[in-house]
Structure 1
Amino acid sequence: MAKVHRARSTSPPDGGWGWMIVAGCFLVTICTRAVTRCISIFFVEFQTYFTQDYAQTAWIHSIVDCVTMLCGLGFALCYSPAIAMVGKYFNRRKALAYGIAMSGSGIGTFILAPVVQLLIEQFSWRGALLILGGFVLNLCVCGALMRPITLEEDHTTPEQNHVCRTQKEGLKQVSPYSSLTKEWAQACLCCCLQQEYRFLLISDFVVLAISILFMAYGCSPLFVYLVPYALSVGVSHQQAAFLMSILGVIDIIGNITFGWLTNRRCLKNYQYVCYLFAVGMDGLCYLCLPMLQSLPLLVPFSCTFGYFDGAYVTLIPVVTAEIVGTTSLSSALGVVYFLHAVPYLVSPPIAGWLVDTTGSYTAAFLLCGFSMIFSSVLLGFARLVKRMRKTQLQFIAKESDPKLQLWTNGAVAYSVTRELDQKHGESVATAVPGYSPT
């Protein structure tokens, strides 16, 4: 096999081959997230064929999503690395690049939803799944587009490089049966892990991780139960599939427009707030859903939910990069998507159990809505507390030292003040003999 050469760059190129990376990530999201969403169309077919209730049938979709986010299996080997690669190639246009790349989920849903319904009618659910499997093989093409890039900030500090290099040289010289070999190997491993996963100790990332759990719990059940819910209120199979298509196409608009808007100068510093707003709006849509029991009412719901779903999905990598930086983005995204696994696993079966128990979708949708709203409120409250604490520290610093002006660089401000005092003392000493500045 040909040797892969890593492109070297001091900073993300924000273009060039990066657009091919975006195209590859775009196709990856179609083959992974869009195909997973279309399992909602198979829900009624599975329920009828296997004669199971909502809770049992929901495990099919939840296990697919859980394994994708939890392991290094199947879709996970394509989805997380593709998203991380976009972050490596873009900095200034990161939100826009992610918006285009993640829009594949919406475009894929828009196209595949009616196509899957036709495939089920023509070839049964078994034949439809077989054809989808052949389509997913395009992931091999996506992998061929992913050209590695090494940035200047990817390198560890000189001290860490020296320690790791010394340990590796020592390992080569020592016998593999020596007791020191094991100790050096463990020390080198700890050094690498400490460098790669140091973001786990950042308080902002911990709060983000907790909020992700609640957000993931809320977002998953809709893609399982939208079609069954539409059928339960008298919508036909084709119209229910049409709702999924609408959700997908508006998802695209949310991906691209929100990515473009948050890249504008007026909103670039408020991407965190935009993420909170999008998650909260999806939660409000959930709370309204039980009152919508006809196709003309479900269409606006699909538009609103789809738009804000595409919006916050685009901003997840941006918000994560804002907290941990570009160097640790790949590992941090791996942790973030790993945290999706447990909610994705349990939320559809819990929602199905609520439907079986209450005979209605109301309790399931309300629980999902409050979960997403709580996720947004938690992050907003944490950011508010952080700003209040920062303001308090600034106030204390001003009170303790009036000469210390808290500019952008406090050290420079203090040195300038000191120089002015010295010059003032020198001028006084010249005018008044015998005076010496203290």
Structure 2
Amino acid sequence: MAKVNRARSTSPPDGGWGWMIVAGCFLVTICTRAVTRCISIFFVDFQTYFSQDYAQTAWIHSIVDCVTMLCGLGFALCYSPAIAMVGKYFSRRKALAYGISMSGSGIGIFILAPVVQLLIEQFSWRGALLILGGFVLNLCVCGALMRPITLKDDQTTSEQNHVCRTETQGFQRASPSLTWTKEWVQTCLCGSLQQEYNFLLMSDFVVLAISVLFMAYGCSPLFVYMVPYALSIGVSHQQAALLMSILGVIDIIGNITFGWLTDRRCLKNYQYICYLFAIGMDGLCYLCLPMLQSLPLLVPFACTFGYFDGAYVTLIPVVTAEIVGTTSLSSALGVVYFLHAVPYLVSPPIAGWLVDTTGSYTAAFLLCGFSMIFSSVLLGFARLVKKMRKTQLQFLAKESDPKLQLWTNGSVAYSVARELDQKDGESVAIAMLGSNPA
């Protein structure tokens, strides 16, 4: 195979071939996330054909979502790398680039939902799945657009790893029988892994990871039970598919407009808060859903939930990059999407079990709503505690030594008093030398 030429850049280009990367990621989200979410349209057909309850049927959707986020199999090989590539090519316009990229999910739902319902009616659910499989083959085209780029930080890390490998090979040739050669190899490998995943020890990332677990639990069941819930209150099949289309198109608007808004100067420093707000709003929508018993009431719900779903999905990579930086973004995003796996696996069956047990969707929707609200509150509380600690450190530093300066992260950077003392010592030494020419 021909060797791939890597584009070299000291910083993300914020344009150029980056827009082709955005286009590729856009198509990837259509072929992965949109197709996955449209599986809910098959829910009633699966339930009828296999004669299973809600909990058993929900495993079909939950396993697809779980494997996408958990393994290196199937959609996972396309989804996470495509998102990470966008973060490599964009810095100043990162939120907008992610907004356009992630809007593929909404556009895909908007187009595919009525089309899938039509395919089911014309060719049965088996034929519809076969046609969707052929559509997903377009992922091969998306992969052809992905051109690797090497940034300054990545090049430094690569050079360090290359030096480590060179030294290891030299030691192996010089003394292949020595046991400490193996120890040197293990040390190099551990050092590389530690450098790649050192963000796992960051308190901010740990809090983000915990909040992602609760957020992922809440967001998944709606895309499984939206159509069955609408059918249960008397909405027709075509109208239920239309609700999914509405949710999808508003999701697009949320992706792009929220990404554009949070890139503005007035909101650039508040992207974290915007992320919390979007998750909390989706949680509130869940709490109101059991009271909506007609199509005219479900349409505003689909608009509101879809908008804020698109908003926080856009900001997940942005918030992750803010915490870990661009160099570790690919690995950090892999961990973040990996954490979606378990909630995606268990939340639809749990919601289905609640529906089977209670005979109503109320308990399932309320549990999802409170889970998303808790995710938002947890992140907000952690940010508040961090801000209070920083303020307290600054206050204590001023009380103990007015000359002691602090960086914005609250850690002591250097002492001005020490620097002044050093300069005084240098001045005395120069004066002594001047008085003694010999």
TM band (smaller chain): over 0.9
AA in 2 matched with 1:166: E
| Cα deviations by residue, 1:66-104 (Å, 9 ceiling, x for unpaired) | 000000000000000000000000000000000000000
Partner of 2:431: none
Partner of 1:287: 287
Change beyond 3 A, Cα 1:405–1:183: closer
Partner of 2:167: 166
Aligned residue among 407, 413, 416 for 1:414: 416
Partner of 1:56: 56
- 1:404 Cα deviation (Å)? 3.5
- Unmatched 5+ stretches in structure 1: 427-438
Aligned equivalents of 1:168, 1:195: Cα separation in 2:
21
Partner of 2:436: none
1:126 aligns with 2:135: no
What pairs up with 1:7-406 in 2 under 5 angstroms? Answer: 7-154=7-154, 155-156=156-157, 162-175=163-176, 179-404=179-404, 406=406
Which moves more between the two structures, 399-408 or 338-347? 399-408
Change beyond 3 A, Cα 1:153–1:187: same
- 1:412 Cα deviation (Å)? 8.3
AA in 2 matched with 1:225: Y
| Cα deviations by residue, 1:288-321 (Å, 9 ceiling, x for unpaired) | 0000010000000000000000000000000000
Aligned equivalents of 2:183, 2:402: Cα separation in 1:
53
| Cα deviations by residue, 1:119-173 (Å, 9 ceiling, x for unpaired) | 0000000000000000000000000000000000112298776545422432344
RMSD of aligned Cα (Å): 2.4
Aligned equivalents of 1:145, 1:324: Cα separation in 2:
26
Alignment check: 8 A CA contact 2:403 2:417 kept: no
Which moves more between the two structures, 148-157 or 359-368? 148-157
- Unmatched 5+ stretches in structure 2: 429-438
Alignment check: 8 A CA contact 2:405 2:413 kept: no
AA in 1 matched with 2:97: A
Alignment check: 8 A CA contact 2:404 2:417 kept: no
| Cα deviations by residue, 1:295-349 (Å, 9 ceiling, x for unpaired) | 0000000000000000000000000000000000000000000000000000000
Change beyond 3 A, Cα 1:135–1:204: same
Change beyond 3 A, Cα 1:413–1:180: closer
Aligned equivalents of 1:8, 1:260: Cα separation in 2:
27
- 1:413 Cα deviation (Å)? 8.6
Change beyond 3 A, Cα 1:356–1:190: same
Change beyond 3 A, Cα 1:158–1:116: closer
Alignment check: 8 A CA contact 2:168 2:181 kept: no
State the identity as a percent: 86
Aligned equivalents of 1:120, 1:261: Cα separation in 2:
39
- 1:391 Cα deviation (Å)? 0.4
Aligned equivalents of 1:144, 1:189: Cα separation in 2:
31
| Cα deviations by residue, 1:398-434 (Å, 9 ceiling, x for unpaired) | 0111234557798689279949x97xx99xxxxxxxx
Aligned equivalents of 2:161, 2:114: Cα separation in 1:
54
User: SS in structure 1 opposite 2:8?
Assistant: strand
| Cα deviations by residue, 1:244-267 (Å, 9 ceiling, x for unpaired) | 000000000000000000000000
**Structure 2 length as normaliser, TM-score?**
0.92
Aligned equivalents of 1:31, 1:230: Cα separation in 2:
25
Aligned equivalents of 1:266, 1:413: Cα separation in 2:
34
Aligned equivalents of 2:264, 2:21: Cα separation in 1:
23
Change beyond 3 A, Cα 1:265–1:172: farther
Aligned equivalents of 1:104, 1:53: Cα separation in 2:
32
Alignment check: 8 A CA contact 1:171 1:184 kept: no
